[in-house]
Amino acid sequence: MADLSPIALTIPEVVTAARMPRSAIYIALKNGNLAAKKQGRRTLILREELNRFLAALPDYQAAA
C-alpha cells in the first residue's frame, strides 16, 4: 500500500509532528534554519525539510 503521509505540513502540523513550541518553529524560519513555502496565506514546510532540520539539531549530551 502507498504511503499517504502528507509531503507538506502546516505550522500547526509541524508543531505536533516535531513536538516543538510554535515560537521555536517561527524562530527557525526567521533564522533560515528551516525553509518554508507559501501557498496563498498558508505556510507549508516540506516533510523532508523538517526531517533535515531535526537531524541538524545538536545531539543530546548527558551532564557529567
- Cell 524562530 found at: 27
Nearest to 35 by CA among 17, 21, 20, 53: 53
pLDDT at 37 over 70: yes
- Region 10-18 average pLDDT: 97
pLDDT at 2 over 70: no
Give the pLDDT confidence score for residue 5 in this predicted structure: 84
Give the pLDDT confidence score for residue 4 in this predicted structure: 79
How far is 60 from 31, CA to CA, in rounded Å? Answer: 22
Write down the pTM of the prediction: 0.85
